[in-house]
């Protein structure tokens, strides 16, 4: 009987003594803790870990609560998953890496003390592989707001510390634990390789969605308000809504409010604070109009009529703008009208000995650098001369031949007598003194004096001809055609550099006289980079004379800065070629008036292409001329209507021209000629 009672008593004794030990002792508890639960523990609480039965802080991670951490900015997954696996350890800072190595060394020392040094090294190595894999294992359904990188680091530490702890507390199970860890590692690697593609795909899709997100333009509300005005005008004109006077009054009130809010605004930031309220109020009123008139066909018909009317108004305004721009460009500003009058008065006060230029012996010296400049604009001619001389290596070798008309002859001479260029030679001639240039010799001069030509330029209806730019009275002046008579003007010269009066020289031009033109007559900079600078832009290829002799896709080129071999000109009799084509175009059937079309024809296959850096065009019409091209150019050309001495000029290009004008000069101050606003 005692034996029967002894066994239950012993069983109860064992149960009451050892059960608390099993349930409450951390050391024994580690035997019953599975790897999965350990990992879960570390994911739930990243701030601590169990090492050797003690709870220690996880120093590798920042000591912040999970609730205080914010979601990371930027992409969670890398674009190249395989690349990020190999470089995952690089994401830790050097301090974090040092602390990780310290923990690993402590773990290895502890394992060596328990007699499992070899296994400990292997576990540490496996722990390193695990960290490489798990650094990029981000949970797609992660609910914790902690940074995914921190969670990944926590998993690595959890696995490493769990393995180390088990090695310490249970040496007999080390091989089994190691095998399971290796199996888990291989499984995780396969999972990462499989999911890496998915993650990369999701990342790509996420970035694509971000790119596809429509960026709100800075004038979104302005556009919306303008659209509301258009819709309001539609409802105002419909018969169904006009029969409702209460609605019409409300709609007109809303239109006034929106117009007041819009004002001159071009972007949302220009709008007043009440813009949103007015926008909502207008939208409500338009909704009422939709209820009154819901016939879409009627509204569409009205919108089409409004669109047609707007397009017609735009066409008329464009034509008026073009005409007024040309008129403004050719109208002489008050200051430039005053200047020649003031200069002429001073010139005629001089005695005859004071009216002559020095160094006249250089005018026919073929060894010097000769320039041909034909202009009636005194200030423009002054800029050409000043900019050329200021960049010349040896100004004494440069000779400027200026030809002007009778009206500006005295003023032009007086300007250069009062403001002589340093060391350079200047001469001013009157085109009226070229007695050989008459209508019997020059067909173009005969045409310019004809009544039909005068009627073409001065008839009252300015809009009767669509080619307004060709109806410019400057083409009536022989000054514009003197470039085709250079050998007659300079009979003793071999080479001459032709310059327009709307250019600025930025580099020494002496190198142009040493160029070998290889038997060509004229050196030019081609302009065929754009389609509208080809021959078919200027010539009438529907005429058989043009279509049989020229290529419509041939490169055009520019007057403005051209080196001309006068000896080759004379040998090839270029002036006669020019005359023959002018005689054929007496009714303007081959080209409209101007100098470039006959120039393209006259010098066809006789041009030598210069480097583009010698001559950059477009500063008188194209605000998009590259600053880089301007800086490297030897000559910049303000071709077009927006001349630099006019208020309509392009502001950012003015300073290149105005810096060669001395606005403190007495004649300029007397005529109130001031520097225009620059860029």
Residue 236: per-residue pLDDT: 86
Instruction: Check residue 328 and give its pLDDT.
Output: 75
- Report DSSP state, residue 271: S
Residue 35 to residue 163: CA distance in whole angstroms: 9
Backbone angles phi, psi at 555, to 5 degrees: -70, 130
Say if CB 400 and CB 382 are below 8 A apart.
no
User: Which pLDDT belongs to residue 446?
Assistant: 85
d(CA 576, CA 599): 13
Tokens of 30: 């580690």
Cα separation, 446 vs 476, whole angstroms: 11
Nearest to 102 by CA among 39, 147, 94: 94
What is the Cα–Cα distance from 155 to 198, expressed in whole angstroms? 21
pLDDT score, position 439: 86
- Flag residues of the chain having pLDDT under 70: 1-4, 18-214, 456-476, 529-532, 677-679
Q: Quote the pLDDT of residue 523.
A: 96
Structural tokens at position 209 = 């969605």
CA distances from 152 to 45, 63, 95, 99, 607 (A): 13, 16, 17, 16, 73
> Which of 497, 494, 498, 465 is closest to 481 using CA atoms?
498
Query: Which tens digits make up the pLDDT trace of 226-262?
Result: 899 998 988 888 888 888 889 999 999 999 999 998 8
End-to-end CA distance of the chain: 118
């Amino acid at each position: 009987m005692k034996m029967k009672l002894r066994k239950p008593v012993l069983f109860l004794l064992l149960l009451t003594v050892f059960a608390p030990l099993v349930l409450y002792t951390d050391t024994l508890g580690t035997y019953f803790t599975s790897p999965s639960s350990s990992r879960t523990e570390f994911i739930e609480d990243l701030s601590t870990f169990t090492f050797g039965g003690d709870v220690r802080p996880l120093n590798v991670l920042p000591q912040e609560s999970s609730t205080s951490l914010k979601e990371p900015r930027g992409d969670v997954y890398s674009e190249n998953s395989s690349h990020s696996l190999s470089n995952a350890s690089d994401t830790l800072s050097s301090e974090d890496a040092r602390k990780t190595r310290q923990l690993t060394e402590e773990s290895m020392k502890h394992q060596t003390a328990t007699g499992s040094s070899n296994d400990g090294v292997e576990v540490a190595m496996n722990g390193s592989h695990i960290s490489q894999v798990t650094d990029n294992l981000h949970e797609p359904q992660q609910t914790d707001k902690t940074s995914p990188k921190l969670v990944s680091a926590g998993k690595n530490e959890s696995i490493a510390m769990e393995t180390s702890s088990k090695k310490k507390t249970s040496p007999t199970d080390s091989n089994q634990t190691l095998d399971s860890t290796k199996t888990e590692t291989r499984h995780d690697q396969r999972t990462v390789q499989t999911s890496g593609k998915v993650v990369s795909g999701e990342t790509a899709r996420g970035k694509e969605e971000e790119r596809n997100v429509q960026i709100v333009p800075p004038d979104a509300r302005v556009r919306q308000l303008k659209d509301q005005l258009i819709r309001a005008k539609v409802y105002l004109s419909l018969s169904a809504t006009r029969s409702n006077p209460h609605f019409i009054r409300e709609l007109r009130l809303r239109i006034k409010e929106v117009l007041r809010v819009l004002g001159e605004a071009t972007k949302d930031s220009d709008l007043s604070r009440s813009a949103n309220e007015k926008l909502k109020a207008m939208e409500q009123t338009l909704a009422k109009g939709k209820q009154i008139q819901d016939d879409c066909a009627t509204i569409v018909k009205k919108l089409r009529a409004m669109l047609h009317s707007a397009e017609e108004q735009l066409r008329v305004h464009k034509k008026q703008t073009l005409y007024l721009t040309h008129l403004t460009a050719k109208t002489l500003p008050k200051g430039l009208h005053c200047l020649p009058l003031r200069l002429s008065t001073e010139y005629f006060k001089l005695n005859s000995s004071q009216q002559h230029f020095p160094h006249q012996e250089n005018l026919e010296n073929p060894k010097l650098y000769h320039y041909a400049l034909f202009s009636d604009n005194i200030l423009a001619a002054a800029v050409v001369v000043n900019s050329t001389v200021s960049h010349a290596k040896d100004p004494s070798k440069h000779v400027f031949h200026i030809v002007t008309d009778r009206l500006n002859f005295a003023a032009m001479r007086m300007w250069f007598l009062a403001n002589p260029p340093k060391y350079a030679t200047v001469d001013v001639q009157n085109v009226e003194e070229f007695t050989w240039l008459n209508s019997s010799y020059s067909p173009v001069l005969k045409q310019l004096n004809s009544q039909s030509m005068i009627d073409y330029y001065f008839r009252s209806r300015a809009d009767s001809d669509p080619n307004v730019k060709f109806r410019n009275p400057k083409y009536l002046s022989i000054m514009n055609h003197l470039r085709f008579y250079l050998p007659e003007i300079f009979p003793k010269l071999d080479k001459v550099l032709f310059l327009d009066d709307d250019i600025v020289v930025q580099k020494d031009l002496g190198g142009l006289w040493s160029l070998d033109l290889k038997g060509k007559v004229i050196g030019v900079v081609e302009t065929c980079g754009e389609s509208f600078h080809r021959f078919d832009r200027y010539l009438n290829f529907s005429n058989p004379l043009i279509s049989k002799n020229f290529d419509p896709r041939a490169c055009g080129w520019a007057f403005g800065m051209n080196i001309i071999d006068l000896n080759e000109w004379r040998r090839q009799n270029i002036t006669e070629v020019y005359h023959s084509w002018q005689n054929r175009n007496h009714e303007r059937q081959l080209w409209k008036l101007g100098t470039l079309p006959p120039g393209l024809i006259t010098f066809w296959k006789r041009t030598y292409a210069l480097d583009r850096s010698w001559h950059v065009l477009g500063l008188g019409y194209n605000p998009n001329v590259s600053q880089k091209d301007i800086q490297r150019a030897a000559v910049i050309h303000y071709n077009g209507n927006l001349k630099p001495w006019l208020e309509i000029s392009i502001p950012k290009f003015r300073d290149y021209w105005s810096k060669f004008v001395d606005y403190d000069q007495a004649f300029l101050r007397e005529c109130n000629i001031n520097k225009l606003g620059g860029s």
